[in-house]
């Protein structure tokens, strides 16, 4: 009888600890969603208001540190958790953080989170550009001067468009067309036949 009471008590303790772990993972998922939403809101342009990128960078760093803390404590569970963490990390400023974002995307995809496909390509491209190598997928555009439009960073010509399509990335021709459009927009070019005021 005493053994039965001991076993029942141990089982109840295990059930409670499992519930605590589930609550902890649920809370972590909610926090990752909040961090993701804040990250995205920082990047949504507000008409007529310039973005203070210095302030955004400071908030980015705080969010990135919190994501790293959640990763270190083993609190990521779902594909969505990994995707949210990856999005925050890919806005970092260090190559290792871009690589971490890529790794998080790989796990997210393996858990069924298809939104992480494009981000897997973009975070790998960002990593490669940051270490001075050509990007693979053509997701990264940068300007060397505030008055110049962003230009497509060098792209490895050996990566086929089939891989881009599988990762929900525009073809290389589409990326080059986007680069041309950004240059036209920066110059203020009007489409042929458009009215001028």
Please tell me whether residues 82 and 33 are part of one structural domain.
Answer: yes
Please tell me whether residues 30 and 120 are part of one structural domain.
Answer: yes
Please tell me whether residues 123 and 182 are part of one structural domain.
Answer: no
Please indicate, yes or no, whether the overall pTM of this predicted structure exceeds 0.85.
no
Name the domain boundary from 89, 115, 133. 133
Residue with tokens 């141990």: 10
Render pLDDT for 105-115 as a digit per residue (tens, 0 to 9): 999 999 999 99
Q: Tell me: pLDDT of 61 over 60.
A: yes
What is the domain extent for residue 86?
26-44+51-133
Please tell me whether residues 30 and 116 are part of one structural domain.
Answer: yes
The answer to the question of residue 6 being in a domain is no
Residue with tokens 């809101």: 41
Please tell me whether residues 118 and 182 are part of one structural domain.
Answer: no
Please tell me whether residues 111 and 61 are part of one structural domain.
Answer: yes
| Confidence category of residue 190, pLDDT binned at 50, 70, 90 | low
Please tell me whether residues 39 and 87 are part of one structural domain.
Answer: yes
**How many structural domains are present in the chain?**
2
Please tell me whether residues 36 and 70 are part of one structural domain.
Answer: yes
Please tell me whether residues 36 and 107 are part of one structural domain.
Answer: yes
pLDDT value of residue 16: 43
Return the higher-pLDDT residue of 90 and 6. 90
| Confidence category of residue 188, pLDDT binned at 50, 70, 90 | confident
Name the domain boundary from 99, 118, 133. 133
Please tell me whether residues 104 and 121 are part of one structural domain.
Answer: yes
Return the higher-pLDDT residue of 52 and 197. 52
d(CA 91, CA 122): 11
Please tell me whether residues 140 and 166 are part of one structural domain.
Answer: yes
| DSSP code per residue over 40-96 | HHHTSPBTTB---HHHHHHHHHHHHHHHHHHHHTT---SHHHHHHHHHHHTTSSSHH
Beta strands in the chain (DSSP E): 141-142, 151-152
């Amino acid at each position: 009888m005493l053994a039965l009471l001991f076993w029942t008590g141990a089982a109840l303790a295990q059930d409670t600890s499992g519930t605590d772990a589930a609550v902890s993972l649920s809370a972590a998922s909610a926090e990752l969603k909040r961090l993701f939403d804040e990250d995205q809101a920082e990047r949504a342009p507000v008409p007529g208001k310039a973005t203070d990128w210095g302030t955004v960078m400071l908030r980015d760093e705080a969010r990135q540190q919190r994501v790293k803390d959640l990763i270190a404590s083993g609190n990521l569970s779902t594909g969505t958790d990994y995707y949210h963490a990856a999005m925050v990390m890919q806005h970092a400023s260090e190559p290792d953080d871009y690589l971490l974002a890529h790794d998080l995307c790989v796990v997210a995809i393996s858990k069924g989170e298809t939104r992480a496909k494009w981000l897997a390509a973009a975070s790998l491209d960002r990593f490669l550009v940051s270490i001075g190598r050509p990007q693979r997928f053509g997701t990264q555009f940068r300007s060397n001067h505030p008055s110049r439009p962003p230009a497509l960073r060098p792209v490895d010509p050996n990566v086929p468009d089939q891989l881009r399509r599988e990762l929900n990335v525009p073809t290389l021709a589409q990326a080059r067309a986007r680069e041309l459009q950004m240059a036209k927009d920066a110059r203020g070019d009007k489409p042929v036949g458009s009215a001028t005021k």
